[in-house]
Amino acid sequence: MFHRLGQFVVRRAWWVIAAWVVAMLAIVMTAPKVTSQTDESAFLPKHYESIQAAQLQERAFPSSFTPAALLLFERNDGQALNDADQASMDKVVKGLTDAHIPAVETVVPVDPKTSKSKDGKYALSMVAIDKTKMQSEEYTEAAKKLRSEGTKLADGSGLKFQVGGGAASALDQNESSGATDAIVMLGSLLLVILIVGVIFRSILAGILPVILSLAIAMPVSNGLIADAIKMFDLKSSPMTSAILIIVVLGVGTDYFLFLAFRYRERLRLGEDRKTAVANAVGRVGEAIASAAGAVAVAFAVLILSSLGMFTALGPALAIAVVATALVSLTLAPAVLAVIPSRGVFWPGKKWMQEPKNARFAALGRITGRKPGLVALVSGGVLLMLALAGVNYNGTYDLAGSSMPKGKESIVVEEKLMTAFSAGAADPSHVFLTSSGAKLNDAAIKDFADKLQGVPGVASVVAPTAEAKTISADGATGDFTVLLKDVPASNKAIDTIQKVRDTAHASAPSDSKALVGGVTAVYKDINTAMVHDYTLVFPIAALLIMIILGLQLRSVVAPWYLMASVGLGFGATLGATTLLFQNVKGEPGLMFMLPIFIYLFVVAIGTDYNILIIARLREEAREGRNPREAASEAVKHGGPTVAAAGFILAASFATFMLAGNVLFMELGFSLAFGIVLAAFVMAMFFTPALTALLGHRAWWPGHADSPDHGHGHGGGPAPLTGTHGVPEPAGRR
């Protein structure tokens, strides 16, 4: 099949190139515009209590004041605010009100009694922004205008003016995301061009995967993803774009290397350019397709996730991988077919000489001679690191972790927690609603007292008609609950569960209590993640095993291949936990990190296993015994795996340049995980286990048999040149 595909592409190379260019332009021009979601609650299904509480708030308090921005005032000299400062703050608030900033509904004046910190050094004004604009540019533009106009109004007053809150955080996240995208893009581009160029000692070879990935695969992927988001009403996360860059460029470079190494190998056997391209596709096409299928399936299964950020991210990455694989199997060979081979590898002069691969030959000999020892050592390293993962602790401060600490919204949040209370930045809300009579004062007081008694609760503000925290029909009350701990901390999440338990148990008869707010959202995200771990992971593993079984024609091999990537997952999580929690002293790792490690280490790590074991099977079919086949697979497949793994790991490492905790953790874990997948699992663990199992690895078939597929076994036919001429003698 893939040899026929290679022949078709070679014969119609210019038509294939033209078709891809036309398709790319059509997809890009017709793609809808997509807006990223920055509100964590938008990613949760409707049946979670925090979402039900938000819906109740909308119904019972349609005009309720939920501050979207917080204006923080302090003196430049750090002293307590005085009467003159109060006049200056009033001037700023009035000026912002008179500015009629689009989407800004209310700017609350600074109350001298209730809006100041206990030490009198800080004062707070709250701003309401139109809720319907939350996922539009107007929402963040309002925060931007508040900052610029407020700074002008405060100029010369001796006051420092800063803007925090949800809208400001969304603005800072968008700006940080753009900067991260640029850093990741630039760093990845330079790495790919430099490393691939050095590997092949060629300028064009270094540029080709970048052109194919970013000029064709990337815009095609973005367009198809936008269509899918609109068609299936999926969510879009700000981090998707940065991850997509790495996936398309990283996977595209991997598959280009798989093809280019085999293409050069065919040229060295004496084949002409077009025959070499066709035979390269025939030899490595199945491995690329199977690897892409495994990765795409692993990504796509996230559609079953409870969290909208993953139900969008998973299919988006799956689409990108499929598009990139199609480019690699059709456009890449078409380009190689029309460019003279000397041009592809210019200015290198020794590309036609078969290298000795001394290092990889030595590694192959070690694996072939002592597979038991190699499997024990490599597996032991993975297991030791995996054991460190038991100390993993998830944290939920997504906004704070995805931005540099110096961002204004983060600075404001930290000052609020210090000056007012740890939970002041994001109070929780308990909504008590009666299905019968109106709520009475006695019931409200008793319920508030019960909430106040929950350990970890700093204060409870009972609803009153004057504060408009009792609904118009008198049936629903909004109890504001300030927690003692930071809203995104694990202590606060534990407290909110106690608040829920107390609220549910203490609600009067014929009434119902719902707990909402950002901490409740984090609690529900935690519950959703547990659901995902127990559902998504097993289904993805099963589907990948089926793909591996079909590709390898074996029932046995998929089991130990998945065991190896499972160990790789645990080892990656363990190493990241050791570095960031034990060494750096972070309170925990971001809650979605295990999912991302699964996405890239398990999914993409399978690529390298597939490539090396496919080469091992090929060597066995040429008459070598299992140990010799393992040795030759490492010798000839090792350079490809090493090059691909090193480039992808280096690309992921560029995340660490973004300057925030989330991308530091993400960059290290994914880079380290890919290193393990390429240099430990694929290079040692997998071939060593295959050598130990011998022919049993291919049970119940005979995929390693020298005559497998050459008779009536249904396997691939012998490869020939583009005109039906048998391949030259020697290594095929």
Picking from 528, 526, 496, the residue whose alpha carbon sits closest to that of residue 514 is 496
Q: CB burial class (10 A; 0-12, 13-18, 19+) of residue 123? A: buried
Domain-located, residue 362: no
24 and 111 housed in the same domain: no
What is each CA distance from 210 to 9, 192, 252, 354, 678, in whole angstroms? 21, 7, 8, 26, 21
SS3 321: helix
691 and 660 housed in the same domain: yes
Domain-located, residue 728: no
Residue ranges making up the domain that contains 608:
539-707
**β-pair type (122-129, 104-107):** antiparallel
* Nearest-angstrom CA–CA distance, 597 and 527: 19
306-332: burial string, b at 16+ Cβ within 10 Å, e else: bbbbbbbbbbbbbbbbbbbbbbbbbbb
**Structure confidence at residue 718 (pLDDT):** 42
Q: Return the structure tokens found at 325.
A: 């694989």
- Beta-ladder partners of 429: 480, 516
274 and 348 housed in the same domain: yes
In CATH, what number is assigned to the domain containing residue 556? 1.20.1640.10
- Beta-ladder partners of 512: 433
297 and 201 housed in the same domain: yes
SS3 461: strand
**Structure confidence at residue 465 (pLDDT):** 83
* Nearest-angstrom CA–CA distance, 18 and 479: 64
Q: Which segments within 457-501 are labelled E, that is strand? A: 457-461, 476-483
Phi first, then psi: give them for residue 728, nearest 5 degrees: -65, 155
268 and 330 housed in the same domain: yes
Domain-located, residue 244: yes
| Final residue in a domain of this structure, among 501, 516, 531 | 516
618 and 546 housed in the same domain: yes
Q: Could you tell me the pTM of the whole model?
A: 0.77
Q: CB burial class (10 A; 0-12, 13-18, 19+) of residue 538? A: exposed
| Final residue in a domain of this structure, among 98, 133, 164 | 164
**Structure confidence at residue 722 (pLDDT):** 39
What is each CA distance from 155 to 91, 123, 298, in whole angstroms? 11, 17, 54
* Nearest-angstrom CA–CA distance, 369 and 669: 33
Using only C-alpha atoms, the chain has a radius of gyration, in whole angstroms, of 30
Neighbours of 380 (CB within 10 A): 10
- Beta-ladder partners of 395: 590
DSSP 401-458: HTS-TTSHHHHHHHHHHHHT-TTSSS-EEEEEEESSSPP-HHHHHHHHHHHHTSTTEE
Domain-located, residue 227: yes
**β-pair type (394-395, 104-107):** unpaired
Domain-located, residue 39: no
In CATH, what number is assigned to the domain containing residue 134? 3.30.70.1130
DSSP 570-589: HHHHHHHHIIIIIIS--S-E
Domain-located, residue 523: no
Picking from 312, 35, 68, the residue whose alpha carbon sits closest to that of residue 174 is 35
91 and 208 housed in the same domain: no
In CATH, what number is assigned to the domain containing residue 492? 3.30.70.100
116 Cβ contact partners less than 8 Å away, ≥ 6 residues apart:
81, 110, 122, 123, 124
25 alpha carbon, distance to own chain's centre: 27
SS3 72: strand
| Final residue in a domain of this structure, among 449, 482, 516 | 516
Q: Return the structure tokens found at 407.
A: 């961002």
* Nearest-angstrom CA–CA distance, 467 and 576: 48
- For the chain, give the percent of residues with pLDDT over 90: 43
Number of domains forming the structure of the chain: 4
- Beta-ladder partners of 700: 554
Domain-located, residue 49: no
Angle ∠(611,617,619) on CA atoms, nearest 5: 105
What is each CA distance from 379 to 79, 598, 615, 629, 699, in whole angstroms? 61, 19, 21, 20, 23
227 and 313 housed in the same domain: yes
SS3 394: strand
Phi first, then psi: give them for residue 731, nearest 5 degrees: -65, 130
Q: Return the structure tokens found at 180.
A: 């991260």
* Nearest-angstrom CA–CA distance, 274 and 281: 11
Which single residue is written with the structure tokens 């380290």? 672
237 and 272 housed in the same domain: yes
146 and 206 housed in the same domain: no
Domain-located, residue 60: no
Residues in the chain, pLDDT under 50:
709-732
**Structure confidence at residue 724 (pLDDT):** 39
Picking from 165, 170, 144, the residue whose alpha carbon sits closest to that of residue 72 is 165
* Nearest-angstrom CA–CA distance, 96 and 70: 13
φ/ψ bin of 102: left (φ > 0), alpha (ψ from -120 to 50), beta (otherwise): beta
Q: Return the structure tokens found at 360.
A: 């990889």
* Nearest-angstrom CA–CA distance, 332 and 326: 9
487 and 547 housed in the same domain: no
CB 455, CB 467: distance < 8 Å: no
**Structure confidence at residue 659 (pLDDT):** 66
Which single residue is written with the structure tokens 């690699």? 328
Q: Return the structure tokens found at 499.
A: 């608040």
560 and 667 housed in the same domain: yes
Q: CB burial class (10 A; 0-12, 13-18, 19+) of residue 340? A: exposed
688 Cβ contact partners less than 8 Å away, ≥ 6 residues apart:
367, 371, 372, 374, 375, 378, 630
* Nearest-angstrom CA–CA distance, 406 and 659: 10
